[in-house]
């Protein structure tokens, strides 16, 4: 069982950063949805389904990308980037990058008739991929993680995938410009590593 240690960066608006400064990783809130809520598309209005599922979004080894991403939503107000490290077992991480075994298994799973039925169901409930948010991708990854956890009796604590985050004036670009890591279990954050990244202070 091999462990990975990853250095990650998360950008947030200044007004949202106070609790992180006070409590560190303890301030992270990851919504807990039941299997029934997921399957029925019955989500609380405050639950955001991002492109990799439900959890805490970060960028791998790239504070500049975290900074540029949150600036898009800041309306010119101050933003803060936090740095943190996670320690995660490889078997508890889903890596959706080109030609990985995880990617191959996911692509096989998504072709299953019952998964195709789920896709049609979610589309009817307006869970779609847009230029800003790939919510349909995210809910399918969430479903897959839960199924893998059920079958293998091990949790998926993080999801890693390439990102083509639009920050350089190229809207709807498919050019990869970084790696996103979704933290699904905040217990993998290494204690006392969650701190403000000083470069952007």
Percent of the chain with pLDDT over 70: 95
> Residue 84 pairs with which residues in a beta bridge?
8
Helix (H, G, I), strand (E, B) or coil at 186: helix
pLDDT tens-digit series, residues 138-185 = 999 999 999 999 888 889 999 999 987 776 666 666 777 899 999 999
Q: What is the DSSP letter of 189?
A: B
For 125-143, what is the mean pLDDT?
88
Residue 114 to residue 109: CA distance in whole angstroms? 9
**pTM for this predicted structure:** 0.92
Residue 80 to residue 103: CA distance in whole angstroms? 33
pLDDT score of 99? 87
Q: How confident is the model at residue 83 (pLDDT cuts 50, 70, 90)?
A: very high
Domain boundaries, the chain: 3-200
Count of alpha carbons within 13 angstroms of residue 83, beta-carbon side? 13
Q: What is the DSSP letter of 90?
A: G
Closest C-alpha among 46, 59, 50 to residue 7? 59
pLDDT score of 170? 65
Residue-by-residue DSSP string for 140-156: HHHHHHHHHHHHHT---
Given a contact cutoff of 8 angstroms between Cβ atoms, the answer to whether 144 and 38 are in contact is no
Mean pLDDT score across all residues of the chain: 89
Given a contact cutoff of 8 angstroms between Cβ atoms, the answer to whether 80 and 12 are in contact is yes
Helix 101-110 and helix 113-124: axis angle, to 10°? 70
Alpha carbon dihedral 50, 54, 56, 58, in 10-degree steps, equals: -40
Given a contact cutoff of 8 angstroms between Cβ atoms, the answer to whether 179 and 100 are in contact is no
| Tokens (6 digits) for 60 | 């791998």
pLDDT at 16 over 90: no
pLDDT score of 200? 66
Q: How far is CA 168 from CA 64, 80, 99, 164, 165, in A?
A: 12, 19, 28, 10, 9
């Amino acid at each position: 069982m091999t462990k990975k240690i990853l250095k990650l960066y998360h950008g947030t608006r200044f007004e949202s950063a106070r609790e992180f400064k006070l409590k560190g990783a303890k301030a992270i809130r990851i919504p807990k949805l039941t299997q029934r809520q997921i399957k029925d598309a019955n989500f609380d209005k405050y639950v955001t389904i991002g492109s990799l599922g439900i959890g805490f979004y970060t960028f791998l080894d790239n504070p500049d990308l975290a900074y540029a991403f949150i600036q898009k939503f800041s309306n010119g107000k101050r933003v803060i980037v936090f740095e943190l490290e996670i320690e995660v077992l490889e078997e508890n991480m889903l890596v959706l990058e080109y030609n990985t075994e995880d990617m191959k298994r996911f692509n096989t799973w998504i072709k299953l008739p019952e998964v195709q039925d789920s896709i049609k169901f979610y589309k009817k409930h307006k869970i779609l991929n847009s230029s800003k948010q790939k919510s349909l991708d995210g809910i399918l990854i969430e479903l897959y993680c839960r199924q893998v956890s059920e079958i293998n009796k091990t949790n998926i604590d993080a999801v890693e995938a390439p990102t083509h985050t639009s920050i350089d004036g190229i809207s709807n670009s498919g050019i990869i410009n970084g790696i996103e890591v979704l933290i699904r279990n905040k217990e993998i954050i290494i204690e006392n590593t969650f701190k403000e990244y000083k470069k952007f202070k």
